[in-house]
Amino acid sequence: MKPYTTMSHPNLFYWASCGWSRIMSVAILHVLALGTMLAQHWPAYEQYRRIAQQNAADELRSLAGEWSASGDQRERHLGLLALATAELRSEDYRAALNLLDSIRSAVPAKEAAIRSTAQKLLANALTLLGDPERGKQEAEAGLLLLPDTGFMRERIGLMNVKAEADLFLPDGLNDAYDQFARNARVADSVGFALGHSGSENGMGLIRLNQARYDEAWSHFNESLRLARIAGSEMLMQNAVANLSITATMDGRYEQALRLCDSLLTELGDRSPEFRMMLHDEKSVIHRRTGNFNKALTELQRALALSVPANESIHQAKLMQSVAITYWKLGRHSDALRSMKEVMAAAGRLGMAELMSEAHLELHDWHAEQGNIAEALRHLQAHKALNDSLQRARYDEQLARSEALYGAEKKERQIAEQQQALTLAAAEDRRKSTQRNAFIGATVLLTLLALLLYRNIRHRARLARKDEELHHEQVDQLLSQQEIKSINAMLEGQEKERERVSKELHDHVGHLLGSIKHQLGELQSQVADVKSEQTAQYQKVSGLLDNAAGELRRISHDMAAATLNRFGLEKALKDLHNTLHINGRLQVELNTFGLERPLERGVEIAVYRIIQEAVSNALKHAKATELSIGVTHAPGRLSVVVSDNGMGFDTSATSGGVGLANIRARAVALGAQAQIDSTVGKGTTVSMEWAVVG
Query: What distance in Å separates the CA atoms of residue 169 and residue 176, rounded to the nearest whole number?
Result: 10
Query: What distance in Å separates the CA atoms of residue 631 and residue 617, rounded to the nearest whole number?
Result: 21
Tell me, rounded to whole angstroms, the distance of Cα 223 from its chain centroid.
Answer: 40
Q: In the predicted model, what is the mean pLDDT of the chain?
A: 76
Closest to 153 (Cα-Cα) out of 108, 199, 109 = 199
pLDDT at 1: 44
SS3 percent helix, strand, coil of the chain, rounded to 5, is: 75, 5, 20
CATH of 568-690, one of 3.30.565.10, 3.40.50.300, 1.20.1250.20, 1.10.150.20: 3.30.565.10
Query: How does pLDDT run across 142-169, given as a tens digit for each residue?
Result: 999 888 888 888 899 899 889 888 878 8
Query: How does pLDDT run across 444-462, given as a tens digit for each residue?
Result: 666 677 777 777 877 888 7
Query: How does pLDDT run across 162-187, given as a tens digit for each residue?
Result: 988 887 887 778 888 999 999 999 99
Residue 428 and residue 390 in contact, taking contact as beta carbons nearer than 8 Å: yes
Q: Does the global pTM surpass 0.85?
A: no
pLDDT at 688: 92
**DSSP H or E segment with residue 410:** helix 408-437
pLDDT at 407: 32
Q: How many CB atoms lie within 10 A of CB 549?
A: 12
DSSP 504: I
* pLDDT-above-90 percentage for the chain: 17
Nearest 5°: the CA angle 247, 248, 253 is 90
Q: Is residue 330 very low, low, confident or very high in pLDDT (cuts 50, 70, 90)?
A: very high
The CATH architecture one would assign to domain 1-204 is Alpha Horseshoe (1.25)
Edge-to-edge strands, sheet with 625-633: 586-592, 625-633, 636-643, 683-690, 674-677
Query: What distance in Å separates the CA atoms of residue 322 and residue 295, rounded to the nearest whole number?
Result: 9
Provide CB contacts within 8 A for 77, sequence distance 6+.
103, 106, 107, 111, 114
Q: Domain segments of the chain: what residues?
A: 1-204, 568-690
Residue 60 and residue 85 in contact, taking contact as beta carbons nearer than 8 Å: yes
Question: In the chain, what's the furthest Cα-to-Cα distance?
Answer: 172
User: CA quadruple 171, 175, 176, 178: dihedral positive or negative?
Assistant: positive
Query: What distance in Å separates the CA atoms of residue 244 and residue 283, rounded to the nearest whole number?
Result: 13
Query: What distance in Å separates the CA atoms of residue 586 and residue 601, rounded to the nearest whole number?
Result: 29
- Phi, psi dihedral angles at 391 (to 5 degrees): -155, 145
pLDDT at 562: 63
Q: Is the pLDDT of residue 268 over 60?
A: yes
User: Worst-scoring range by mean pLDDT, 172-176, 272-276, 492-496?
Assistant: 492-496
pLDDT at 267: 80
* pLDDT-above-70 percentage for the chain: 68
Q: Is the pLDDT of residue 132 over 70?
A: yes
Q: Is residue 38 very low, low, confident or very high in pLDDT (cuts 50, 70, 90)?
A: very low
Provide CB contacts within 8 A for 152, sequence distance 6+.
39, 186, 190, 192
**More confidently predicted of 330 and 36:** 330
Residue 585 and residue 617 in contact, taking contact as beta carbons nearer than 8 Å: yes
Provide CB contacts within 8 A for 344, sequence distance 6+.
none
**DSSP H or E segment with residue 2:** none
Provide CB contacts within 8 A for 515, sequence distance 6+.
544
pLDDT at 559: 52
Q: Is the pLDDT of residue 43 over 50?
A: yes
Instruction: Report whether the peptide linkage leading into residue 170 is cis, meaning its omega lies within 30 degrees of zero.
Output: no
User: Mean pLDDT across the stretch 392-410?
Assistant: 36
Beta strands at 674-677 and 683-690: parallel, antiparallel or unpaired:
antiparallel
User: Worst-scoring range by mean pLDDT, 120-124, 234-238, 373-377?
Assistant: 234-238
Query: What distance in Å separates the CA atoms of residue 29 and residue 244, rounded to the nearest whole number?
Result: 17
User: Mean pLDDT across the stretch 76-95?
Assistant: 84
pLDDT at 189: 92
Closest to 615 (Cα-Cα) out of 593, 639, 648, 584 = 584
Query: What distance in Å separates the CA atoms of residue 68 and residue 108, rounded to the nearest whole number?
Result: 17
Q: Is the pLDDT of residue 317 over 70?
A: yes
Tell me, rounded to whole angstroms, the distance of Cα 146 from its chain centroid.
Answer: 24
Crossing angle of helices 292-305/272-288, nearest 10°?
Answer: 170
pLDDT at 186: 93
pLDDT at 331: 93
CA torsion, points 465, 471, 475, 476, in degrees to nearest 10? Answer: 40
Query: What distance in Å separates the CA atoms of residue 555 and residue 577, rounded to the nearest whole number?
Result: 13
Q: Is residue 680 very low, low, confident or very high in pLDDT (cuts 50, 70, 90)?
A: confident
Provide CB contacts within 8 A for 230, sequence distance 6+.
35, 193, 194, 197
Query: How does pLDDT run across 574-620, given as a tens digit for each residue?
Result: 888 776 655 556 889 999 988 888 888 888 889 889 988 888 887 77
Q: Is the pLDDT of residue 389 over 80?
A: no
Q: Is the pLDDT of residue 368 over 70?
A: yes
Name the β-bridge partners of 12: 4
Provide CB contacts within 8 A for 126, sequence distance 6+.
132, 134, 135, 138
Q: Is the pLDDT of residue 301 over 80?
A: yes
pLDDT at 459: 81
Q: How far apart are the first and last CA of the chain?
A: 93
pLDDT at 5: 34
Q: How many CB atoms lie within 10 A of CB 325?
A: 27
Q: Give the number of C-alpha atoms closer than 13 A to the C-alpha of residue 150, restricted to the C-beta side.
A: 10
